[in-house]
Amino acid sequence: MSHADAHALHPPTSTGLDTRKLAIWTFIGSECLFFASLISTYLVYHGKSLVGPLPHDASQCLLDGRMQECEAVFEIPLVTFGTAVLLFSSFFVVMALNGAQTGNRKKLIGWLSATVIGGLFFVGMQVYEFYHFYHKGLGYTTNLFSASFYTLTGFHGTHVTLGVIWLATVLVLAIRGKLPPEKAMNLELAALYWHFVDVVWIVIFPVVYLMR
Amino acid sequence: MATSALEHVHAPAAPKTGLWSWITTVDHKRIGILYGASAFAFLLIGGLEALLIRWQLRIPENNFLSAETYNQLFTMHGTTMIFLGVMPLSAMFFNYLIPLMIGARDVAFPRLNAFSYWVFILGGLFMNFSFLVNAAPNAGWFGYANLTSKQFSPGLNVDFWVIGLQILGIASLAAAVNFLVTIVNFRAPGMKMMRMPMFVWMSLITQVLLLLAFPVITVALVFLMLDRVFGTGFYVPAVGGDPILWQHLFWIFGHPEVYILILPPFGIVSEILPVFSRKPLFGYAAMVFSGTFIAFLGFGVWSHHMFATGMGPVADSVFSLTTMLIAVPTGVKIFNWIGTIWGGSLQMKTPMYFALGFIALFIIGGLSGVMHASPPADLQQTDTYFVVAHFHYVLFGGSIFALLAGAYYWWPKMFGYMLDEGIGKLHFWVAFISMNLTFFPMHFVGLHGMPRRTYTYPAGLGFDWLNMLQTIGSLILGVSFLIFLWNIIRSYRGRAANPAPADPWNGATLEWSIPSPPQEWNFAELPEVHGRDPLWDLKRARGGPLPEPPLVSGQGIHLPNPSYWPAVTAIGVGVVLIGFMAGGVVVNLIGVAILFFGAFRWAFEPAG
């Protein structure tokens, strides 16, 4: 009893699971439906655009005020590289977490920095991609493909950005020496979210970029 | 035992008072009361809107309301009752009761809980603010595309609706994470999942529904907002978009939503019936599994709202079958409730009246619901008053009656005084009779072909007098709420003569083991649970009622610190979204700044 009193705020949980970790998992479950709705919409409108530009094929599109032949917008090599960087950053954050749990500060800070840089690279890749597509004539409201593509990948990019801010905040804590092993959960929560953002991209990449 | 030393050594701590203590509170009981008071106010506003609608329809070709005002009133009536009335009233019970019933000192994330409330109240006020600028939403509570498109709704009306609902969705999602984690992780020692009170079970299932259904409507609303603000064509046929996509996304949310509205009331009734029948709940496991099955199937029936769109025989058949199937677990529940009262020693107190009224009225609504499962029948009923009759029987006769039952049952626990039994029973009979007077004729009017959402009707179609009857019924129904208010005020004035003991009803669940109202920390000593009816077990072992629990000083009990950062963060959320409607990207960015500032201060302040 006195034990429970002493730990009134953080009593031993009924399941033994960490409460914050359970909350993140619950939130991720909810996010799955969020992205499922966005991806379904992209698929429903796949091939339904009335004008170009289109993702994989040349098409007729309105560019510079007149209808003309437009090239396909996607450039698979660039996004493949970005995908690889994002996936590797998931590995980096696992190494960083190991560093945090074992009290290896160098390992923690090094790998966590790499994770943040990887995330930033991915966001930068996406900004470059959007900019590039826009100049190929693919504005936000150009056609159904552009609206559903920018909305889906834009929301994913926003998630990556939030993940980067979260991880960077933890990195600052780590550099200030405020992430001892007993507080490694602070990194693990961000890492769980980061893995989820990666997993969503693993679905988006083939569905959006590879599937014709 | 540490706690025996706690008692009597210090004087009981006086509860904190004042406006600031409410703004910064992270106590689940206070947040519950905030939810309850706000939701009841919204419920009265929604009721007033209904009365205006009925006053317009009392005679044919009436010009009391213009068509436009009428559109605004039925849209806001539906939206208010669902999102600002019934859902937050359930949230009041989640907040107040879940920690008490599972033997916890608070929810898992007290500040997140406060955040949910502040986001909710912001969304509710924002949506109703639209009346002041004469731009209340007017496209119906399910806002079908392309009524809602910029082309056909150029005003701010639909923007208020889209942004208001998104704000409210954030509140629901945050609360759902919180309650799910609380139920799974904060149970008292010995309270296994299959020992949880049925209300807690139904709450848990509701949180899962909220978590899985709200993201879908969020996406649907985001598309609509993008269509309106930036000119995308998600729901615009001219560029190849499909308005039916809105219907699918909306009802994938919308059907689980009806179970979000009814499962917590199911839980409330499942608590009340055993206590007033002096029998344990009949078929506990069947109740749990039927609730789970309803939630699961609830995601597979959405297209029965869309038979009129012409989905083809295969889709029609599948959704018809799943809809008929979902009546089975619902029927299981009804039989279990009847099994609970069967042969019981019935204590006919006001909560029991409302709970029994709930069963009767919900069955009527359930039966007309099954009729909608048949596509050919449904085609005759779609958009007529028959549908209106159906969902008022399940929502008013079902949800609201159960919520009123819960209000009478837990009022003594929440406020420390008993509500008057005589006025309570008067309240029940007036509500029960007028409810049927209002909504039963709608079945006939609907089958006669009177369409819903049309501001007037010509004379001589055979339902003039029925409409008058409904209006009379609705006015009496309005009076029933005044009787409830009268009961609250009168009982409050006489509270000295009628203090509530800890356990006024001979309850079975843990909330009745602590003083009424509970102290800030709920349980001075965390209880241990050995069965499904922990308090009855204790009383049986003792051979009589338990002694009145003493008030303790609370010295040494660690509680979370109050915080205003949840409220600040909530304001940030609101400002971000309102920027999409007014002020543009500058307002968005100000909102993001407030949001991040609030969230960071929240994350780095000492939680207590």
pLDDT in tens, B107-143: 999 999 999 999 999 999 999 999 999 999 999 999 9
B554: nearest CA partner in chain A: A5
Which amino acid makes up residue B125? L
The answer to whether the CB atoms of B521 and A37 lie below 8 A apart is: no
Interatomic CA distance for residues B233 and A124, integer angstroms: 27
Residue A52: its pLDDT value, please? 84
Chain B residues 97-126 with a CB less than 8 Å from chain A: 105, 108-109
Of B564, B430, B571, B411, nearest in space to B491 by CA:
B411
A27 interaction partners in chain B (CB closer than 8 Å)? 177
> Quick check: A31 and A194 in contact, CB under 8 A?
no
SS3 per-residue string spanning B356-387: HHHHHHHHHHHHHHHHCCCHHHHHHHCCEHHH
Q: Which of A14, A49, A146 to mutate to test the interface with B (most CBs of B within 10 A)?
A: A14
Interatomic CA distance for residues B143 and B213, integer angstroms: 17
The distance of A6 to chain B (nearest Cα, Å) reads 8
Chain B residues 134-193 with a CB less than 8 Å from chain A: 173, 176-178, 180-181, 184-187, 191
Task: Write the CB contacts of B270 (distance below 8 Å, at least 6 apart in sequence).
Answer: B198, B199, B202, B281, B287, B337, B340
> Quick check: B513 and B527 in contact, CB under 8 A?
yes
The answer to whether the CB atoms of A17 and B184 lie below 8 A apart is: yes
Residue A4: its pLDDT value, please? 38
> Quick check: A41 and B215 in contact, CB under 8 A?
no
pLDDT in tens, B388-425: 999 999 999 999 999 999 999 999 999 999 999 999 99
Cβ-based neighbour number of residue A28 at 10 Å: 16
Residue A8: its pLDDT value, please? 43
The distance of B110 to chain A (nearest Cα, Å) reads 10
Chain A residues 49-78 with a CB less than 8 Å from chain B: 49-50
Residue B204: its pLDDT value, please? 98
Task: Tell me: pLDDT of B6 over 80.
Answer: no
Task: Tell me: pLDDT of B3 over 60.
Answer: no
The distance of A192 to chain B (nearest Cα, Å) reads 16
Residue B245: its pLDDT value, please? 96
pLDDT band at B9 (very low <50, low <70, confident <90, very high): very low
pLDDT band at A65 (very low <50, low <70, confident <90, very high): confident
Residue B14: its pLDDT value, please? 61
User: Residue range B268-291: average pLDDT?
Assistant: 97
3-state secondary structure of A69: strand
pLDDT in tens, B210-237: 999 999 999 999 999 999 999 999 999 9
pLDDT band at A11 (very low <50, low <70, confident <90, very high): low
The answer to whether the CB atoms of B177 and A27 lie below 8 A apart is: yes
The answer to whether the CB atoms of B185 and A4 lie below 8 A apart is: no
pLDDT band at B170 (very low <50, low <70, confident <90, very high): very high
User: Residue range B25-50: average pLDDT?
Assistant: 96
Handedness of CA B311, B317, B318, B320 (dihedral sign): positive
Interatomic CA distance for residues A21 and A23, integer angstroms: 5
pLDDT in tens, B473-517: 999 999 999 999 999 999 999 999 999 999 999 999 999 999 999
Interatomic CA distance for residues B196 and B534, integer angstroms: 10
Residue B213: its pLDDT value, please? 97
Residue B608: its pLDDT value, please? 63
Interatomic CA distance for residues A191 and A101, integer angstroms: 13
User: Residue range A75-94: average pLDDT?
Assistant: 95
B556 to chain A, any CB pair closer than 8 A? The answer is yes
> What per-residue string of b and e applies to A100-138 under the rule 16 or more CB within 10 Å gives b?
beeebeebbbebbbbbbebbbebbebbeebbeebeeebb
pTM of this prediction? 0.94
Residue B4: its pLDDT value, please? 42
DSSP class of residue B348 equals: -
For chain A, give the mean pLDDT: 91
Angle at B29 between CA B25 and CA B34, to 5 degrees: 70
3-state secondary structure of B451: strand
For chain B, give the mean pLDDT: 93
Q: What percent of chain B has pLDDT over 70?
A: 97
pLDDT in tens, B531-575: 999 999 999 999 989 999 988 887 778 888 889 999 999 999 999
Angle at B569 between CA B24 and CA A175, to 5 degrees: 105
The answer to whether the CB atoms of A30 and B608 lie below 8 A apart is: no
Handedness of CA B140, B146, B151, B156 (dihedral sign): positive
A177 to chain B, any CB pair closer than 8 A? The answer is no
DSSP class of residue B500 equals: -
**Chains A–B, number of C-beta pairs less than 8 Å apart:** 120
> Quick check: B12 and B551 in contact, CB under 8 A?
yes
The distance of B459 to chain A (nearest Cα, Å) reads 46
> Quick check: B56 and B143 in contact, CB under 8 A?
no
User: Residue range B79-95: average pLDDT?
Assistant: 97
A13 interaction partners in chain B (CB closer than 8 Å)? 185-186
pLDDT in tens, A143-194: 999 999 999 999 999 999 999 999 999 999 999 999 999 999 999 999 999 9
* Predicted complex ipTM exceeds 0.90: yes
A135 to chain B, any CB pair closer than 8 A? The answer is no
